[in-house]
Amino acid sequence: MTIYAVGDLQGCYDPLLRLLEQVRFDPSRDTLWCVGDLVNRGPQSLKVLRFLKSIENQCVTVLGNHDIHLLAMAYGLRGPRPSDTLKKVLKAPDLQELMDWLRHQPLMVQDQKRRTVMCHAGIYPWWTRKQALKRAAEVEALFRDEASCEKLLQKIYSNQPSKWKSSLGKTQRARFIINAFTRMRFCSPKGHLNLTESGYAGRTRKNRLPWFELSHPDLDDWRIVFGHWSALGLLNTPQHLCLDTGYIWGGDMTMARLSKNPEKKVKIFSTPFG
């Protein structure tokens, strides 16, 4: 089995198809991993969702902040933002099925053989791999139950708490877990998330480091596949693979063939904007 991982699709279906053709993706043999943010900003969110749902047994995706925004809109809990392009999805006759599929997607996945994990934004540096998986599962269970999903979506839109403590109350805990997995970019050396900055230039500031520059207790010989941070460009090291190359901003869309051995570099494929 070959695993191909693709960066943020953001409602862009055509370049996804071009990449699948380029790698000769064969659903009987291969699996597609998506780093999340399947929808929004681009013009083809509905097509992307229908396509991924149609290959759901060959597709592993994690939830991104835009996917969660769409869920909140579908439940009528959030209004549109000026840059949203989700109207077609929200009016689709199969909206309910698509949203049911979406809220069953995880926040984090792992492939033990390849020693590879995937999430949308990153893994909070103060969590071990096992803790991260457990905390992801905690929120995934809430999303999978329709009533608790709706309740949770009403309460997650805040940047607080900025720091993890195991003593956090239920809602604060869920909110932090979602923010870390789907929105994190910078973190302070003491563990505070900075959720307001998205650039990359100021990376050397003392109190604001990219999350992946802070060491993880037990992920040294694992690879973390993620997206969400187009300003980074392609990041391809043995430990970190960021596939968000900002297609929606005129960059490439990027796909990687994940090597069986995480120490080996992955093979990168890309298709230009347009």
State the residues that interact with Mn ion by CB under 5 A.
37, 64-65, 228
**Complex with Mn ion: residue 37 or 140, whichever CB lies closer:** 37
| Residue 246 C-beta: closest distance to Mn ion, Å | 11
- Residues 6 or more apart whose CB falls under 8 angstroms from that of 76 comprise none
**Complex with Mn ion: residue 64 or 125, whichever CB lies closer:** 64
Between β-strands 2-6 and 30-34, what pairing exists: parallel, antiparallel or unpaired?
parallel
Q: Which residue in 201, 202, 223 sits closest to 212, CA to CA?
A: 223
| Residue 9 C-beta: closest distance to Mn ion, Å | 11
**Complex with Mn ion: residue 25 or 48, whichever CB lies closer:** 48
CA distance 242 to 35: 9
CA distance 7 to 109: 15
**Complex with Mn ion: residue 125 or 227, whichever CB lies closer:** 227
| Residue 200 C-beta: closest distance to Mn ion, Å | 15
Q: Taking CB positions, which residue lies at the least distance from Mn ion?
A: 228
Q: What are phi and psi of 6, to 5 degrees?
A: -120, 150
| Residue 34 C-beta: closest distance to Mn ion, Å | 12
Q: How many residues does the chain have?
A: 274
